[in-house]
Amino acid sequence: MKSRFVSRMRIAGTTTGMLGLACLGVAHYLPAATDATAPQPDPFILIPAGVLLLGLGVGLWLTGWLASSRVSCQDPDILRESKE
């Protein structure tokens, strides 16, 4: 059960982090504005969205990593070895 949680957290963290990096990359390569005859909206909303998604991805990945280390430390074989 916990290994399923860990793998889902790592997948969710990786996917969310990649989406955040994609938002930041798109915001970097999109032009801020064109000429006055055909103005386009500025892509500035992508910057905070990218930072938010990247931070969320790192948090989810760290949660999965910490949960995996907790699972491995509670392994019954490890507990038996420490008592002997």
Q: How many CB atoms lie within 10 A of CB 49?
A: 16
Hunting for tokens 């997948």 — which residue is that?
A: 11
| Predicted pLDDT of residue 51 | 93
Tokens of 1: 């059960």
pLDDT > 90 fraction of the chain, expressed in percent and rounded: 30
35 in any annotated domain? no
Residue 5: helix, strand or coil by DSSP?
helix
Q: Mean per-residue pLDDT for 20-25?
A: 93
- The reply to whether the predicted model has a pTM over 0.85 is no
79 in any annotated domain? yes
Domain count, the chain: 1
Q: Which domain holds residue 10?
A: 2-30+42-83
Report the distance separating Cα 41 and Cα 70, nearest Å: 47
CB contact set of 65 (below 8 Å; sequence gap of 6+): 10
Hunting for tokens 């982090």 — which residue is that?
A: 17
Report the distance separating Cα 24 and Cα 55, nearest Å: 12
20 pLDDT higher than 90: yes
